[in-house]
Copies of this chain bind each other. A is one copy, B any other.
């Protein structure tokens, strides 16, 4: 049940087409089901107006299938992130209708494709190796009803590439920047645009990158004031918040 459906329900209440008790029952009854190992929270969609999400890593395929099955009964759109091929196959064997993106490991059920975002979200990545994270952000924002523009491979050491894409960046209402290694790109992008920038450190790099720690610290210390940060490799979180902002 998403917010549009909720609004419809409330209007039915106002119009006398449904009893208040019945409406309340539909709204509040069984806010989450007990699968034994996971509380599936159908109210999350109600509270956030967004698709359901399953983080597949650390769960068995059986657990993912069971959670997905329950979610798909109520939610039009479901994202399964960090799913390996075996997990995706198991889900799709039981629950057809999704498409799997192996680069990012996202399995997407995208049945409600209304655009709810008011502008464009730009998803930028510094290097080719950052593309899986950028794809996770992009897919998340798309499923949440946004038009997304992706710009790949514009690192800080090649500033002219960044400058050539300046116009595309300034057209966006919110920018997601994915970068590993020194993680400097969000600062440079942040200086070019006046909208919020969501920085995603990636684990791309070696040695003193310490699995993304260098990029993370760099972004937290950004001298651009319009930058906030999410966890290392958390493309989903960045796409999610960008979508919330783009709805305002």
Contacts and interface: CB of A to CB of B under 8 A. Distances in A.
Contact of A244 (B58, B154, B195, B222): B195
A232 B212 contact: no
Contacts of A212: 207-208
Given A58-B204, A188-B156, A230 B236 contact: no
B41 A158 contact: yes
A228 interface: yes
Given A210-B217, A218-B217, A223 B155 contact: yes
Contact of A232 (B57, B194, B207, B241): B207
Interface residues of A, number: 96
Given A173-B248, A188-B156, A225 B240 contact: yes
Contacts of A118: 248
Contact of A39 (B37, B161, B224): B161
A163 B248 CA distance: 25
Contacts of A154: 39
Contacts of A222: 157, 181-182
B190 A37 contact: no
Given A207-B220, A208-B232, A63 B244 contact: no
B226 A228 contact: no
Interface in A18-50: 31-32, 36-39, 41, 43-44, 47-49
Contacts of A83: none
A5 interface: no
Interface stretch (A68-76, A93-101, A104-112, A121-129): A121-129
Contacts of A227: 230, 237, 241
A127 B59 CA distance: 10
Given A156-B223, A212-B207, A229-B228, A244 B126 contact: no
A38 B128 contact: yes
A183 B220 CA distance: 11
A184 interface: yes
A230 B229 contact: yes
A9 interface: no
Q: Which 4 A-B pairs have the closest CB atoms?
A: A207-B232, A184-B184, A157-B191, A214-B217
